[in-house]
Amino acid sequence: MCGISGIYSKNDNLEFILNKFNQTLKNRGPDNSSIFVNKSNYFGMGHTRLSILDLTERGNQPMYDHSGNWVISFNGEIYNHLEIRSYLSKKISNKINWVSDSDTETILLANNILGFEETLKCLEGMFALALYNKQENILYLARDRVGEKPLYYYNKDNKFIFGSDIS
C-alpha cells in the first residue's frame, strides 16, 4: 500500500503542506516520500511508497512520463501491467525503453499512447491514482471499479485537496 495526496491552492507553502500530508501517510508507505510542485499552476502532489514490484528508486513517485509532461502518484497494483506493456509495444510497432519494472510507468506510457479513458479500461487491479498534465494544468483522479483503494477529496474555498487518507 502507498499513500497519495495533492492540492490545488493559491497557498505559497505547497511544499510544507505536501510534506505534512506525507508525514500523515507515512504508515501507508515507509520506503520513500517525495513531492511534486508546480508553483505557477498552484498545484502539488505527494507520494509515500511501499515498494512492491520495483524495489529500486526507479519506481519512486511522483513519477514522470518519458516526455516529462505527465506526473503520476499511484497507489495499488495493476495485475495485467506486463500484458499492457506487450500490447503497447505492438501498438506502436517499436521497442519501448522502459526505465523501471513498475506498473506505475506502465500506466504513464499507456496514458501517452492510448489516452486517459482507454488506459483506465485496460487496467485490471486495485488502485487509486492522480495523473497530472503540467502543460495543460489538468488533473485526473481515478480508482478501481470496486473502490478497493481509498481516494478522498475536498473542494471548497478555491482549494481542491485529495488523498489516500481522510486525515
Q: For residues 130 and 124, give the distance between their C-alpha atoms in angstroms, rounded to a whole number.
A: 17
Is the pTM here over 0.75, yes or no? Answer: yes
> Is 122 a known active-site residue?
no
85-134 pLDDT, tens per residue?
999 988 786 778 888 888 999 999 999 999 999 999 999 999 999 999 99
Among residues 2, 14, 108, 128, the one annotated as catalytic is 2
Q: Which helix (H) or strand (E) holds 139?
A: strand 138-143
**Which has the higher per-residue pLDDT, 46 or 166?**
46
Q: Residue 21: in which H helix or E strand, if any? A: helix 14-24
Numbers of helices and strands, H then E, in the chain: 4, 9
